[in-house]
């Protein structure tokens, strides 16, 4: 399988060739030349598989240049009950992503898919643990090293650092917006003392961090000399790993391939729901893909109007679902590439316009950049928005009605999912994190602290190690170079 850039000016590459990188050399994102298809017979066979076995079956369709026995070993090393041990009471950790039916009435079913049982209590572990093992495998083959440079609004950073700590030949440089994550998220990252982990708190918002990552990635000479790679969701391997749990959720919620399900996904950077789009393109019987945003509603605005309007840093709200405080969705370009019939020249022009004019318009109205918004429905996308009052009310209601405490981002998902329920089609909400990561808001909603898995009782009290920096690309490059010796 070969991979091409959404902007059409980079040579086709194999899975292993793009594994350690992020953006393509032309600034685009990689996608397979065509999506592999999954047959009904395969879906039937996959119903009996463990999560690790299912992961191997999905991955081997994309990573065709890695020997299958090696890929299988990596999947089985990653997806174990020991790694995903933080299951809630009543959940089977061996299922890795167990389903829980929240409500079922009038033919409508609302289901929660647990994705936060990994080491950092967030769904990012589902892909990041695999990525760490894939990176180590590939670097060992090449006798090489890698400097991971990434940005986080909360959960990607800790998931990456926990997956990469102690890995041979890997350093992690992780940017996060200074004082804009929850206390738990901050402590989870900054308390790590491993010598290969570098935390940089940027004076700004997540989009400032993300812009710096892209700027460094676009400096091809620096990127090559410093052996820069990425773990953000622009990394194709991470998106592929997330495709697996859509298949798992579907197979666990249905008994026949004639049935459909919908997924609601709390979304800021469009990486998680992009994996759902890919699963649907592969043939998974998904009815709707529901993007749930918070007050930073760039994606909701697009899926309602066809206008993609990026907000500036000063217009980005700091909310109680902070991992979605994003106003420029990195992965959105992958969907736009498909929406435009894979016309790389138009994609290139539209995202140049994002840089120069702050967005583009596909509504089809006079003066717009195209009329492809009319085709969005055929890809299953709808959207909705949830604000602070909504998430507080939803956390309270789910606790009172079902005895389940959910985090703030998952609450955004449940609120929007309820607005899009269809009779006869189970709605699966992808859980984003365990509530302990956002204890300040849980306390506001429920008047008590969220339960914490063993080992996380006093994490905020641990010593923290981090550097504060202005959003200055040249200073960031100097920081990296001084710590790599390259």
Stated length of the chain = 486
Cα–Cα distance measured from residue 421 to residue 318, given in angstroms and rounded to the nearest whole number:
29
Catalytic pick from 109, 124, 227, 385? Answer: 124
The whole-angstrom separation of Cα 328 and Cα 316 is: 10
DSSP state letters, 167-201: -TTEEEEEEEETT-S-HHHHHHHHT---TTEEEEE
- State residue 200 phi and psi, 5-degree precision: -120, 115
Dmax over Cα atoms in the chain, in whole Å?
64
Which tokens in the block code for residue 286?
């998904």
**Do 126 and 249 meet the contact criterion of CB atoms below 8 Å apart?**
no
**Helix, strand, or coil here: 381?**
strand
Instruction: Check if 374 is active-site.
Output: no
H-type alpha helices, 60-112: 68-78
- The span from the CA of 37 to the CA of 120, in Å, is 33
Element (H, E) at 275: helix 271-281
In this structure, what token pair is assigned to residue 49? 């598989």
CA distance linking residue 208 with residue 215, whole number of Å: 11
Q: Tell me which residues are annotated as active site.
A: 124
């Amino acid at each position: 399988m070969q991979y091409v850039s959404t902007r059409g000016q980079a040579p086709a590459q194999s899975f292993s060739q793009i594994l350690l990188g992020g953006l393509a050399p032309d600034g685009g994102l990689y996608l397979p030349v065509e999506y592999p298809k999954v047959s009904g017979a395969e879906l039937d066979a996959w119903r009996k598989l463990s999560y690790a076995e299912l992961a191997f079956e999905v991955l081997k369709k994309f990573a065709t240049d890695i020997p299958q026995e090696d890929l299988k070993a990596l999947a089985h090393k990653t997806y174990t009950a020991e790694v995903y041990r933080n299951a809630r009471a009543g959940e089977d950790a061996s299922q890795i992503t167990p389903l829980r039916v929240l409500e079922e009435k009038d033919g409508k079913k609302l289901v929660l898919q647990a994705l936060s049982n990994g080491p950092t209590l967030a769904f990012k572990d589902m892909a990041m643990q695999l990525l760490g093992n894939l990176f180590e495998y590939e670097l060992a083959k090449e006798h090489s090293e890698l400097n991971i440079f990434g940005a986080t609004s909360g959960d990607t950073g800790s998931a990456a650092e926990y997956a990469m700590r102690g890995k041979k030949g890997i350093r992690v440089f992780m940017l996060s917006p200074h004082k804009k994550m929850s206390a738990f998220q901050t402590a989870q990252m900054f308390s790590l003392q491993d010598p290969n982990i570098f935390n940089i708190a940027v004076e700004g918002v997540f989009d400032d961090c993300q812009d710096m990552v892209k700027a460094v990635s676009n400096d091809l000479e620096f990127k090559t000399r410093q052996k820069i790679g990425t773990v953000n969701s622009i990394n194709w391997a991470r998106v592929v790993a997330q495709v697996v749990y859509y298949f798992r959720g579907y197979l666990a919620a249905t008994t026949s391939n004639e049935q459909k399900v919908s997924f609601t996904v709390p979304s800021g950077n469009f990486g998680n729901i992009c994996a759902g789009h890919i699963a649907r393109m592969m043939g998974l019987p998904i009815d709707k893909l529901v993007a749930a945003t918070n007050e930073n509603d760039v994606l909701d605005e697009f899926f309602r109007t066809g206008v993609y309007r990026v907000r500036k840093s000063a217009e980005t709200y700091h909310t109680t679902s902070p991992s979605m405080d994003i106003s420029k969705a990195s992965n959105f370009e992958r969907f736009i590439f498909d929406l435009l019939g894979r016309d790389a020249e138009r994609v290139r022009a539209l995202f140049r316009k994002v840089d120069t004019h702050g967005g583009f318009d596909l509504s089809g109205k006079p003066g717009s950049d195209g009329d492809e918004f009319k085709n969005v429905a055929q890809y299953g996308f709808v959207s909705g928005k949830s604000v602070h009052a909504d998430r507080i009310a939803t956390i309270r209601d789910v606790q009172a009605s079902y005895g389940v405490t959910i985090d703030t981002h998952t609450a955004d998902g449940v609120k929007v999912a309820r607005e899009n329920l269809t009779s006869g089609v189970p709605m699966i909400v992808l859980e984003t994190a365990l509530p302990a990561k956002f204890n300040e808001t849980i306390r506001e909603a429920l008047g008590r602290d969220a339960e914490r898995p063993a080992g996380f009782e006093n994490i905020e009290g641990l010593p923290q190690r981090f550097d504060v920096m202005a959003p200055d690309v040249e200073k960031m490059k100097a920081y990296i170079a001084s710590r790599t010796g390259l």
